[in-house]
Amino acid sequence: MKNVYDVFLERGFVEQVTDDEAIGRLLDEPGVTCYIGFDPTATSLHIGSLVPIMALAHMQRHGHRPIALVGGGTGLIGDPSGKTEMRQILTRDKIDYNARCLQQQLARYLDFSAGRAMLLNNADWLTKLNYIEFLRDIGRHFSVNKMLAAESYKMRLEKGLNFIEFNYMLLQAYDFLYLFKNYDCIVQMGGNDQWGNMLAGSDLIRRMEGKAAHSLTFPLITTSAGHKMGKTERGTVWLDSALTSPYEYYQYWVNTEDEDVERFLCLFTFLPVEEIREVRNLADARLNMAKSVLAFEATKITHGETAAVEAWRSSVRAFQARPVDAELFPSSSIPRKRSITLINGGTDDLSAIPSLKKSHADMEKGIPAYELFHETGLCASRGEARRLIEQGGAYINENPVVSFDEKITESHINDQGLVLLRKGKKKHFLIVVR
């Protein structure tokens, strides 16, 4: 049976590791405690945090104990790694509130029952440190020359690194030491921009405890076009459904570039690699089916199966997508042909698509198309709506809008009391008439 390190390697999780052979042997046996830190600078994590979250989930599935460490203490300083400017310093109350939000969110990915995983906040020990003792016991093990040479500080040195940020490496290293001593944690994982900080932690444990502790980093995940994960024209794709709806989340994944489908299935789902490799043999409609599976499985992990099914149903209705063939990804629980029949019968749930209520009286009078596209937010202004319509990019019930002042009336309402608006190929909005 593959150990979790083998899984990491074949799925593309590993960028750097302190000792490839040693960590492979270590993870052959269950019961290893590992941790990843999460910065509480917002009330929600985003898609850019998914690789570390999935790594913790894989560790747990292979019998290890993950620690999700919320940086309530280090968040008061701010990590300079990969930043050209100093982060805004948040108040303690704001950090604590964000930390509580992240703790609730992470519980959707990890099973925290019976001590199988742990949620910790480094504010519990960092805010209690005695500065003089910290410098004497911890600071003396750090070389300023080595710290300044670390990749995590290079970008900030060009514009000015302040003393508060300079302490960040010491504090992260101390986190690892604290977790090593108190929770028997011997593996730290994180993004590749954290490599210098993580090595400092492993080295501190070696110096103070005389024992080995390992660090493993993940690659920076970008799309095939070179874009940062989780960034769209509408902004960040959040894991919190209040900030990014399950339908929008599903659409982000279903619009994955062809070249990224196999890689993203490996990283962001738990489907067997053997099934995922078949993507190499797919093209056209069947490759689009693979994108649907990616979107469904990713949405299911983050928002639950019910929300994933609703998002899938709404997407099928909006885009007339073909159902996934039965022989493709048999391990996936995505609905298949039976559910499509149900949808064509008019019983599908479209609640995930953004909507606006209108009265029958409004529809009897008729609403100019450009005004409706502006009112729904599909267009930022009436001028933009007019240009969209003139360019042939506006649709009502999948029919192109002929002129900008075309009236949307009762005649456009379907049997379900709905009118479907579409901007371009991807953006939909429902008018609910009651």
Asked if residue 270 and residue 169 are part of one domain, the reply reads no
Q: Which tens digits make up the pLDDT trace of 341-387?
A: 333 344 444 555 788 899 988 898 899 999 999 999 999 999 999 99
Asked if residue 253 and residue 295 are part of one domain, the reply reads yes
pLDDT category at 319 given cuts 50, 70, 90 is confident
- The CA-CA-CA angle for residues 209, 210, 212, to 5°, reads 100
104: helix, strand or coil: helix
Distance of CA 263 to the CA centre of its chain: 15
Domain CATH number, residue 324: 1.10.240.10
Asked if residue 334 and residue 362 are part of one domain, the reply reads no
36: helix, strand or coil: strand
Asked if residue 242 and residue 190 are part of one domain, the reply reads no
Evaluate whether residue 367 is within a structural domain. yes
Question: Across the chain, how many H-helices and E-strands are there?
Answer: 20, 15
> Which residues lie across from 418 on neighbouring strands?
432
Q: Which tens digits make up the pLDDT trace of 382-433?
A: 999 999 999 999 999 888 898 888 899 988 888 778 888 989 877 888 898 8
pLDDT of residue 141: 84
pLDDT of residue 344: 39
Evaluate whether residue 226 is within a structural domain. no
Q: Are 186 and 32 in contact (CB under 8 A)?
A: yes
pTM of the model: 0.74
Angle, helices 4-11/261-268, rounded to nearest 10 degrees: 160
Asked if residue 172 and residue 40 are part of one domain, the reply reads yes
Evaluate whether residue 223 is within a structural domain. no
What percent of the chain is modeled with pLDDT above 90? 54
Evaluate whether residue 322 is within a structural domain. yes
**Containing structural domain, residue 118:** 4-218
Asked if residue 290 and residue 195 are part of one domain, the reply reads no
Distance of CA 234 to the CA centre of its chain: 15
**Residue with more model confidence, 139 or 57:** 57
Question: Judging by beta carbons within 10 Å of its beta carbon (0-12, 13-18, 19+), is residue 259 exposed, middle or buried?
Answer: exposed
pLDDT (mean) for 166-178:
89
For the chain, what is the domain count? 3
Asked if residue 335 and residue 372 are part of one domain, the reply reads no
Q: What is the mean pLDDT of the chain?
A: 86
Domain CATH number, residue 15: 3.40.50.620
Asked if residue 72 and residue 209 are part of one domain, the reply reads yes
Asked if residue 373 and residue 319 are part of one domain, the reply reads no
Whether the per-residue pLDDT at 210 is higher than 70: the answer is yes
User: CA–CA separation, 152 vs 332, rounded Å?
Assistant: 40
Evaluate whether residue 224 is within a structural domain. no
Asked if residue 368 and residue 252 are part of one domain, the reply reads no
List the 185-191 sheet strands across, edge first: 16-17, 214-218, 185-191, 33-38, 65-70, 118-121
User: CA–CA separation, 150 vs 122, rounded Å?
Assistant: 23
Q: What is the DSSP letter of 258?
A: G
Supply 282's token pair: 């797919």
pLDDT category at 244 given cuts 50, 70, 90 is very high
Evaluate whether residue 300 is within a structural domain. yes
Distance of CA 375 to the CA centre of its chain: 30
Evaluate whether residue 303 is within a structural domain. yes
Domain CATH number, residue 362: 3.10.290.10
Domain boundary (314, 347, 380) is at 347
Asked if residue 414 and residue 282 are part of one domain, the reply reads no
pLDDT (mean) for 216-240:
84
Whether the per-residue pLDDT at 79 is higher than 70: the answer is no
Q: Are 316 and 350 in contact (CB under 8 A)?
A: no
User: CA–CA separation, 160 vs 19, rounded Å?
Assistant: 34
Supply 117's token pair: 């995983």
- CB count, 10 Å around CB of 202? 22
Supply 203's token pair: 């080295």
Task: Show Cβ contacts of residue 192 under 8 Å, excluding neighbours closer than 6 positions.
Answer: 15, 16, 217, 218, 219, 220
Name the one residue in this structure whose structure tokens are 């070696």. Answer: 206
Supply 278's token pair: 């078949």
Domain boundary (303, 324, 347) is at 347
Name the one residue in this structure whose structure tokens are 């925290």. Answer: 112
pLDDT (mean) for 36-62:
94
Evaluate whether residue 298 is within a structural domain. yes
Ramachandran angles phi, psi of 121, nearest 5°: -125, 120
List the 355-358 sheet strands across, edge first: 355-358, 427-433, 418-423, 394-396, 399-400
Asked if residue 116 and residue 145 are part of one domain, the reply reads yes
Residue 354 amino acid letter: P
pLDDT (mean) for 59-68:
96
Domain boundary (325, 347, 369) is at 347
Ramachandran angles phi, psi of 124, nearest 5°: -65, -25
Ramachandran angles phi, psi of 216, nearest 5°: -140, 130
- Here the contacts of 307-313 (C-beta below 8 Å, separation 24 or greater) are 307/241, 307/246, 307/352, 308/246, 308/250, 309/335, 310/246, 310/247, 310/349, 310/351, 310/352, 311/246, 311/247, 311/249, 311/250, 311/251, 311/352, 312/250, 313/339, 313/343, 313/348, 313/349, 313/350, 313/352
